[in-house]
Structure 1
Amino acid sequence: MSDRKLKIDIISDVVCPWCVIGIKHLKEAVLKNNWQNQIDVEWYPFELNPDMPPEGENLRDHIARKYGSSKEESEQNRQRLVELGKSVGFDFNFNDESRIYNTRQCHILLDYAHSIGLQTQLKLAFFTAYFTEGKNISDTEVLLDIGESIGLETAEMLAYLNDSSEHDKVDVIEGQWREMGISGVPTVVFNNEQGLTGAQSVESYEEMLNHYLVTKTE
């Protein structure tokens, strides 16, 4: 094939557990076929709860309010996620005090991380901080610590967070996705042409990758 890499855009939110499962399955499909040097991944914002206050909301209460889930249904879903997480090497730690948070600042820092080639590392660090360690990812100090841990500059992070144009940029990008009919995450778009929504199986991602990296180049 040519030296040009396959562009993969991942539209997701940091507090979406299915985004974790999806990216793990996508990664497995890539590694299984040794395609890691043939793809270029970029993460895009999609806030599931853009109006969430900084202090967040109890996760079980949030699920019940938003989706009408009972306590029993919520517990079953959590257990399913824990088991799926273990199957892909990720630890979901839920408890009665688990909260969901506003993710606007996360998406702004992900834009900064993209500019220096550390976007995927930061996204994965956010997933671990939130789902495994139960950290408040709407707290600026927490985010700065996470960013510093992967090599981001504190001054640059603060500059991005304090830049109103960065906030506007998130709004514009999310609006564009919604205009395109995207309403769920994760949504993985291949070569700006085809997209898969939801945490697809390894086989589904492999089929799509094979289409672009093998079939279309023969």
Structure 2
Amino acid sequence: MTPSLKIDFVSDISCPWCVIGLKSLEQALERVAGDMTATLHFQPFELNPQMPLEGQEITEHITEKYGITPAQADANRENIRLRGESVGFTFSKADQRGGGRSRIYNTFDAHRLLHWAGLEGAEQQKALKEALFKAYFTEGQSPASHEVLARVAGEVGLDAAQAREVLASDDYADEVREREAFYQSQGIHSVPAVVINDRHLISGGQPAEVFEQALRQIAAAG
């Protein structure tokens, strides 16, 4: 009997290492596809839950939060850009014109929309998650904008009008907060965090080889 794995991918839309981790995990899942099946669920985590809707300039935010210099922040972003390139994802460089990629935004409404998408289906949720990563990190659009969120939902085949209704309401706010609180109570305070079968945790944007080895070991152990 082919082993089946449940994978919860805990992450934030504004987390670049989450993009890298997801791309690497997808590569690993392709490599093990003949030996096991897996269902992927995206769980919410906010890196900056107190961030106002208008956001904050990215270098200012990073230097304040992590106590590093602007030069170090730029070097970190370049490292992330290169890692993204290695897994087939394009991180645009932050511009100075106030574009989305030059700012960090509040992502709570994006997580509400992702929760709704998950109720529509796992594939729909995955498509929306990946499209939101691209909208923010590649195209520099704001994941706090209801207009952007609804449009992206429509582009991946979800009902854009229903997405707007969700965003205009408080729908799924309690559910998102409950899931966030649950994973924090499990000791997850940084992302990405990949939880397999509710028991095994893999932290960080690991290479595909690390994910593949872990998936095979867990599947073999039953």
TM bin, normalised by shorter chain, reads over 0.9
Residue correspondences, number: 215
CA distance in 1, matches of 2:201, 2:61: 28
Mapping of residues 48-127 of structure 1, within 5 Å: 48-97=47-96, 98-117=102-121, 118-127=124-133
Counterpart of 2:143? 137
Q: What RMSD over aligned residues (CA atoms) do the two structures have, in Å?
A: 1.6
2:24 equivalent to 1:19: no
> What are the superposed Cα offsets for residues 110-157 of structure 1, whole Å, 9 maximum, x if unpaired?
111111220010000000000000001101011111011011112321
Give yes or no for contact 1:82–1:91 (8 Å, CA) kept in 2.
Answer: yes
Which amino acid counterpart does residue 92 of structure 2 have in structure 1? Answer: N
Gaps of 5+ in 1: none
Residue pairs, 1:140-179, within 5 angstroms: 140-179=146-185
Amino acid across the alignment from 2:62: I
Shift of 1:35: 4.8
**CA distance 1:36–1:139, shift in 2 (3 Å):** farther
Q: Distance in 2 between the 1:89 and 1:66 partners?
A: 29
Closer, same or farther: CA 13–120 of 1 in aligned 2, 3 Å: same
Contact 2:115/2:176, CA 8 A, preserved across alignment: no
> 1:164: how far off?
2.7
Unpaired runs of 5+ residues, structure 2, are 97-101
Q: Helix, strand or coil: the match of 2:39? A: strand
Greater shift after overlay, 146-155 or 127-136? 146-155
Aligned partners of 1:13 and 1:48 also within 8 Å: yes
- Contact 1:30–1:36 (CA under 8 A) maintained in structure 2: no
Give how far 1:200 is off.
1.2
Name the SS of the counterpart of 2:40 in structure 1.
strand
Aligned to 1:216: 221
- Cα distance in structure 2, aligned partners of 1:127 and 1:92: 10
